[in-house]
Structure 1
Amino acid sequence: MFVLDENEEMPLYVQLYQQIKNDIIKGDIKSGTKLLSSRKLAMDLRISRNTVELAYDKLSSEGFLISRPHQGYYAELPLMEALDKQEGIGKPQLELESQDDKNIIYDFQNKRLHPDEFPFGRWKALTNKCFLDYKNGFLQYGCPFGEPSLRAEIQRHIYHHRQVKCQAKQIIIGSGTQFCLELICHVLTDQNMNIAMEEPAYNRTRMTFQNNGFHIRPIQMDEHGIDISQLKNKTVAAAYVTPSHQYPTGIIMPKTRRVELAEWAKCNDTFIIEDDYNCCFQYDINSIPSIHSFCSDRVIYMGTFSDLLFPAIGVSYMVLPEQLVDKLCERYCHDTTFVPFLTQKTLELFMREGFWEKHMRKTILHQRKKRDVLVKSLRHEFKDKIHIWGTHAGLHILVQAKWAVTEEELIAQANEMGVGVQPTAEFWSCTQNMKNGLVLLNYGGMLLEQVPAAVKLLRQAWLKNEKGAVKEL
């Protein structure tokens, strides 16, 4: 019999859910056992029927119960849980934290979303469904460029949201953005070995190009993004841009600049690599069509699922112009799949059954609220003592101090107060272009209610005088 405590902070349905789940995993409730009806169990426990149904629904979504019409609920040990139990695999231990990480209470360094914001139960249920309903897929190597059914889902998604019109065969699914960039480097090697990049730009992307023998040509930006006038004097294989939320400045490239950039690529017979990361996180503006929609034969379009899901999924994709698809096929057509079948199939089901759209809408609204609270808190605490950049999109903002202070000092002072902030110096290829006193705040991994307290600590850390008192603003 299950024991529920009304004095516990944990809701009754969660207590019931956890107890049933634990009994199924331990084997106290065998697979195939019929559970009491929600009405009968509610009467026995003297709780509402809705409470039991909430617990049953959660167990069913995670694959621990199977609902049979006109028969009731039956216990089921999901295959992943059964394998863990059989092999004696316990819960993975947490990685050892560095000393600096242990001191961090509020972390603006995390680029991921907070774990509480992802429907792990739904993902787990779909993963179990793959083992039950799609066994044949595990026995095949599959197409190296991605499962046709997932490529079709991505095709529909990017056409609807980003006006990217392509054939499914042009979509290449890879294990992360840097992996896709590696593939791009391999199909561009018969061009000249120069790549134009925004200045500043994501340092790992710059390193990927350099590791593949390309020379970086940094291009300064104006308020609308990459400066086309500087591009006209450069002979490059491609220009890499992040138009939806330039990294790290947060500049959103307007439609006119996108059209201008597309015309530049056509006239110079070169390519644009459009990294459309964070494209869904647009808060105060209408969505702007992708550069690909203006010049599909000269644009390599890139997207990722990590921003909205979790980094460990390791799934990104790109849309190659048709003339580059054949070159990639010649080199990799005999390879095994770049992304495991289980990951691809689970993601396909997540998209096909509507959970992706639902999760995307919910996450965007939540991140908008978080952005609003962060900006409001910063302006309240610091008044006119700081510049705030990049607030209209994405999952991060830039903060620059107006007083004489270095990036290193800001980071060290914040760490002393238990707040982690991210440096920006590494994003500039030319050190003379760096801005002093500039740090990056990733708010995706923060809980909404943590933000005001974190900003108060930043104020205490950054606006001290020699005696340690906070300066009057």
Structure 2
Amino acid sequence: MSEPWSIAGVDLHLDLGTGGRRAGLTDALREAVRAGRLAPGTRLPASRTLAADLGLSRGTVTAAYGQLAAEGYLLARPGAGTVVAPRATAARRPVPLDRPWRPVVRYDLRPGLPDLSAFPRRDWLASARTALTAVDHAALGWGDPRGHADLRAELAGYLGRVRGVRTEPDAVMVCAGFAHGLALVCAVLRDRGVRAIALEDPYLPPYREVAEAAGLRTVPVPVDADGIRVDRLAAADVGAVVATPAHQFPLGVALAPARRVQLADWARRTGGLLVEDDYDGEYRYDREPLGALQGLAPASTVYLGTASKTLAPGLRLGWLAAPPELVAPLVRQRRHTDRHTGILEQLTFAELIRSGRYDRHVRRSRITYRRRRDELVAALPTGLPVTGIAAGLHLLVGLPAGVSESAVVNAARRRSLGLEGLSAHYGRSGRRPPQLVIGYGTPPDHAFRPALRALVDLLHEYPGR
């Protein structure tokens, strides 16, 4: 006999089996506890209530509770009822992953995250309150796969004002971050007959993973001090290019003006698509703001941005601005996957932009991260080359000749210091000078200087050879 019950806030499906009712109830409750469906501390219904719910006698329920209490699965507390005992649940084996996600360390100087303690909670709460008060009931239903019209309008205005993006709200799509936007674009490219896509080399590993998951072949194209080598694209035989013109990750260079023109010309001449990742475009310190590449070739460029660095990646808020002829194919792809981004997050972000709170937060963050960058550069041992410091939330530190990147990264891990080596980001093999990619965005303010001391102490153990 299978019976669901919902008493005192607890929902559970019990299969009482075909044997005796007392034994069936005892076995069903025991299995629910061991499987974790009844968590430690969960309060069970009173015996009289559960008996009425299941059509059993109260004595049957009392006997089952008593048996499980004797076995250590339940605790009967006078005046507090019957609860699941601590640690009564069977230990669960962790599900194995092919790659653990960002192991926790005490001092985190890996790139890729902002200071999450600086998330503007008060501003977000105020914006959420305004948005939730004003939202129409109909907006809580199934929405436009491109995103809510209010946020698309705010993004189109913001991107035009701050990044020089030439777009309209109808050509903007709200997505769940850069990787999600790239996955949608790659799927559309595949359906349009594109077979290969070029990636800057070095690059973020998710670029390759996302593109190849969509069925595209990835072609690494080298990057030098002026950005991606556009002259290598002809031999690459690709239908699209992923580029980071504002701040290349991980080298930190900006795409030179001449290269920008060459890349836009390549797209117009070949019909290829430029996929612009505006990586860390909001954070620049020692140079004039660089407008988006999309402004040079709006008909050939899909521009992608995200709030992962300015706010937090956990919000899962990103956006893309596409050429008009790609909007409908992107909508079809979106409709077949997750439909659209959460409406309350969208409306809250729209209000954050509309109110000016987002601009003020970005300006405050820029000041904080510039100060951190300056402290990091000043603290590093003399003689180590430092590059990529003009923008972003990371920089490169060269290691002495003969020192192994992996040896330094592993030594750091043993001290609970998170570091990354540059070589892990290359798609092509070859000998390169050893370098570390040092992120200065992640630690909260109180932990930043201790993290610097841990880094400097480690680097002093590897003097030049």
* TM-score over 0.5 for the pair: yes
What are the residue-to-residue correspondences of 1:33-432 with 2, within 5 Å? 104-109=105-110, 111-137=112-138, 139-189=140-190, 190-332=192-334, 337-378=339-380, 382-384=381-383, 386-432=384-430
The DSSP-based 3-state class of the residue aligned with 1:232 is helix
- Give the conservation status (yes or no) of the 8 Å contact 1:108–1:419: yes
Give the partner amino acid of 1:446.
P
- 2:452, 2:336 → 1: CA distance? 53
Q: How many angstroms does 1:327 deviate by?
A: 2.4
Residues 180 and 371 of structure 1: is their aligned pair in 2 closer, same or farther, counting only changes over 3 Å?
A: same
Q: How many angstroms does 1:191 deviate by?
A: 3.0
Give the partner amino acid of 2:132.
F
- 2:338, 2:379 → 1: CA distance? 50
Residues 335 and 181 of structure 1: is their aligned pair in 2 closer, same or farther, counting only changes over 3 Å?
A: closer
The DSSP-based 3-state class of the residue aligned with 2:235 is coil
Q: How many angstroms does 1:452 deviate by?
A: 4.3
Q: How many angstroms does 1:192 deviate by?
A: 2.8
Give the partner amino acid of 1:179.
H
- Give the conservation status (yes or no) of the 8 Å contact 1:407–1:437: yes
The DSSP-based 3-state class of the residue aligned with 1:393 is coil
Give the partner amino acid of 2:117.
D
Give the structure 2 partner of residue 464 of structure 1. Answer: 461
Give unmatched runs, 5+ long, in structure 1.
Answer: 1-95, 466-470
- 1:209, 1:360 → 2: CA distance? 30
The DSSP-based 3-state class of the residue aligned with 2:372 is helix
The DSSP-based 3-state class of the residue aligned with 1:348 is helix
Give the partner amino acid of 1:112.
L
- 2:261, 2:306 → 1: CA distance? 23
- 1:152, 1:364 → 2: CA distance? 25
The DSSP-based 3-state class of the residue aligned with 1:300 is strand
Q: How many angstroms does 1:101 deviate by?
A: 5.5
Give the structure 1 partner of residue 75 of structure 2. Answer: none
- CA offsets per residue over residues 300-323 of structure 1, 9 Å max, x none? 111111110001110111111112
The DSSP-based 3-state class of the residue aligned with 2:377 is helix
Q: TM (normalized to structure 2)?
A: 0.74
- 2:336, 2:451 → 1: CA distance? 51
Q: How many angstroms does 1:459 deviate by?
A: 3.1
Rg comparison, structure with higher value: 2
Give unmatched runs, 5+ long, in structure 2.
Answer: 1-93, 95-99
- Give the conservation status (yes or no) of the 8 Å contact 2:111–2:393: no
Give the partner amino acid of 1:461.
L
Q: How many angstroms does 1:413 deviate by?
A: 1.9
The DSSP-based 3-state class of the residue aligned with 1:244 is coil
- Give the conservation status (yes or no) of the 8 Å contact 1:413–1:462: no
Q: How many angstroms does 1:236 deviate by?
A: 1.0
Identity of matched residues, %: 25
CA RMSD of aligned residues (A): 2.3
- Give the conservation status (yes or no) of the 8 Å contact 2:130–2:351: no
- CA offsets per residue over residues 310-348 of structure 1, 9 Å max, x none? 011101111111121132244545876420101101101
Residues 426 and 269 of structure 1: is their aligned pair in 2 closer, same or farther, counting only changes over 3 Å?
A: same
Q: How many angstroms does 1:432 deviate by?
A: 2.0
Give the partner amino acid of 1:396.
H
- Give the conservation status (yes or no) of the 8 Å contact 1:240–1:272: yes
Residues 396 and 335 of structure 1: is their aligned pair in 2 closer, same or farther, counting only changes over 3 Å?
A: closer
The DSSP-based 3-state class of the residue aligned with 1:431 is coil
Give the partner amino acid of 1:388.
V
**Is 1:443 paired with 2:445?**
no
